[in-house]
Chain A
Amino acid sequence: MMHAVRQISALVKLSLLDLYRRKDMAVVVIFLGIVIVPLLFVSPFGVKGASRYINELTLLLIWVFTAIIGVARAAQIFPLEIESRTIFPMMAKPIHRGQIVVGRYLGVWLALASALIVFYGAYGILVGVRSGTWFMPVFWQALVLHLGFLAIVSALALLGSLFMTASANVTCCGMVCVGMLVYGSRLEQFAEQQGPFGKTVLSILNWVAPHVEFFDMRHRLVHDWPSVSWGVCALALGYAVAYTTLCLMAAAVLFKNKRI
């Protein structure tokens, strides 16, 4: 057991180093700075203290960038390894293919989590400076749920990378994410309005599709809504863990049967 954990942690470290070497994060941080910093000094009609629009924009950018990095990185792990043939020395070692999938996935997710903590930290400081409220409970809930979102999205991209080309995978993941963020909460309602066939299809979709909209707490955070109960957060996180596990299990099976 300890041996397997050690093997996975070595793979995690490898993924983390890989992501940080690519300097994607640095580009995102610089871009965020370029967009956000000038907005900090704007006070329309001489009114100071209005900051929701900055908060909303900042959170939107954080969501977009982390989703892009998550999908792009997870979608590239195995294709790049296979293309550059670095997968072979790894597979020559006494390690199960499922462990490789889990290790590489955890590395990407941890790298994303570390970047997300930096982004949310910057956001928390920005809000604190502008409005004087520092790290409210809803802030922590938003951060935790955002981690759940990234877990699902990167697991989906990793799964897709094993049977789709990189571009098709990224496009599909992007469409699924955006589609579910926009329509996910209304799928049941749409199903009710359809005929028998449409209703069945949409009901199945409602159960199968990744409900990433659960993890979007931007409205609550931006508009100072009260925090939700931690029980509901735990439920949403449970969903994220279950969905991610299913994706990784499917990925492990695919990777095991894949001819490299």
Chain B
Amino acid sequence: MKDQDRIRIYGCLGLGLCLLVGAGIGLFATPLDDRPQVNNADLFSLLLGDARQLMSDAIVAKAEVYFHGGLEVECDHHGGEADHDDHPHDAHNEAPPAASSFSWKNPWRTITQTIHAQEHIHLSDTGSAELLPLYWAACRVAPKNIEAYENAAYVLSSNLKRPDEALKLLDEGIRNNPKTYRLDFYKGQIAVGTLHDTVRAVQFFSRAWSKITTSKEESVAQDQPRLCFYLGYLALQQGDRAEAQRWLLQAQKINATSASARDLARLLEKQ
């Protein structure tokens, strides 16, 4: 046997052994239940695997850029939290950005800053329809992307005043992510804020509460007191003061200094 043939045979054997060892490690390293079940998955799952989530996140980030008129700016839009008001939110058709003064030291900067848009703007409510194709794609690419469902529902309910379609979309999200509380929570917020339907809101929030207690999501600490506030507020609306009191105690038990607990206590004092 020639040396070259021998090298080839040993090479093939070595490669085969490596593949076997790799497959063995892959097979026994992960418990059966935790392994992704790709046999019944769609073409996206088979071809892209976890890359779907990355793609979906990138599309959501792109939608954020669209919301800011093409600029990459970090700000929170629909959480209603404090950081929203620390920069101007002019409507889309405001005055053009002022050109920076010309400098001979670096003329390129003047041209770049003038030609490339710099100002922080937000899309108008009707203009937000532009975001929907991106959120639609993000939801389709990765049905586990909860943020995409939340954002799409926000645009549908708050900007385009189509809360029923937002609820349908969130239902689809819940079917795809049955363990998350966030989509039920958001349904409750739409029911309270846009539909003013307290009965359905209580149903949605109660379902969210049943999930949040076992949830391991990062936002639990922040959302638990908020959920208590909503449930207490709705109990007050329905005249059930004892129930509201119970939710206040629950909120204080979770985080006594939270704004939600304070607000609920204030509401109870007023009544």
Contact = CB atoms under 8 A, between A and B. Distances in A.
A45 B165 CA distance: 8
A6 interface: no
B99 interface: yes
A49 interface: yes
A216 B130 CA distance: 22
* Max count, chain B CB within 10 A of own CB: residue among A42, A45, A51, A239: A45
Interface string B131-163: 111111100000000000000100010001000
Given A49-B129, A211-B111, A223-B117, 12 more contacts: A45-B132, A45-B152, A45-B165, A50-B130, A188-B106, A211-B112, A219-B116, A219-B117, A229-B99, A232-B110, A232-B114, A235-B111
A12 interface: no
Contacts of A229: 99, 114
A53 interface: yes
10 contacts: A44-B136, A50-B131, A184-B112, A213-B112, A219-B70, A223-B69, A229-B99, A232-B115, A236-B111, A239-B111
Interface residues of A, number: 33
A97 interface: no
A45 B99 contact: no
Contact of A232 (B109, B111, B134): B111
A72 B133 CA distance: 35
Interface residues of B, number: 32
Nearest to A213: B112
B22 interface: no
B132 A50 contact: yes
B44 interface: no
A13 interface: no
Given A214-B115, A223-B66, A44 B132 contact: yes
Interface in A60-117: none
Interface in B86-108: 92, 96, 99, 106-108
Contacts, number: 85
A232 to B, nearest CB: 5
B170 interface: no
Given A45-B165, A219-B116, A206 B92 contact: no
A1 interface: no
A51 B156 CA distance: 17
Nearest to B68: A223
A226 to B, nearest CB: 4
Contact of A211 (B92, B108, B130, B152): B108
A224 B126 CA distance: 14
A252 interface: no
Q: When A and B form their complex, which 8 residue pairs have the shortest distance between CB atoms, in order from nearest? A: A44-B136, A226-B96, A223-B70, A219-B70, A185-B112, A223-B69, A232-B114, A52-B130
A211 B169 CA distance: 45
Interface string B16-43: 0000000000000000000000000000
Contacts of A188: 106, 108-109
A223 B124 CA distance: 12
A199 interface: no
Contacts of A184: 112
Contact of A47 (B106, B109, B132): B132
Interface in A201-260: 206, 211, 213-214, 216-217, 219-220, 222-226, 228-229, 232, 235-236, 239
Nearest to A215: B115
A51 B132 CA distance: 10
A141 B69 CA distance: 19
A44 B162 CA distance: 14
A100 to B, nearest CB: 33
Nearest to A239: B111
A219 B92 CA distance: 14
A148 to B, nearest CB: 11
Given A53-B134, A188-B108, A219-B117, A45 B66 contact: no
Given A206-B108, A214-B115, A219-B117, A225 B129 contact: no
Contacts of A216: 115-116
A223 B116 CA distance: 12
Nearest to A220: B117
A55 to B, nearest CB: 10
Contacts of B131: 50
A49 B124 CA distance: 14
Contacts of B117: 219-220, 223, 225
